[in-house]
Amino acid sequence: MPAVPEPSAPSAGDLELAADQAIAACGGDPREAVKALIVANGFLEAQVEELRASVSAGYSRPVRPPARSQGRLRCPR
């Protein structure tokens, strides 16, 4: 199981609907919609960096299989 899920591509219809909603939210001005999306993207990138910095190294380092024991097993006395 991968540590990070792979994003799925939205369908063409979903993209068209999202674009129409963004333009409508900006009063029908596509240039203003693009500017608003750029600002929103910058905000999300800043959040990702903040979260990345706050994650413990124990959660972000790769998982390694346990080392094999070399030699004979010893019984405790």
Please, where are the H alpha helices in 1-77?
12-25, 30-54, 57-60
- Rounded to whole angstroms, the Cα distance separating 1 from 20 reads 36
Residue 67 zone, left/alpha/beta (φ > 0; ψ -120 to 50; rest):
beta
Token duo for residue 38 = 């750029």
pLDDT at 73: 55
Domain boundary assignment for the chain: 30-56
pTM for this model (two decimals):
0.58
Average pLDDT value over all residues in the chain: 82
In tens, the pLDDT along 3-51 reads 666 778 888 899 999 999 999 999 999 999 999 999 999 999 999 999 8
Note the pLDDT of residue 6. 74
Closest CA to 36 of 17, 22, 48, 18: 22
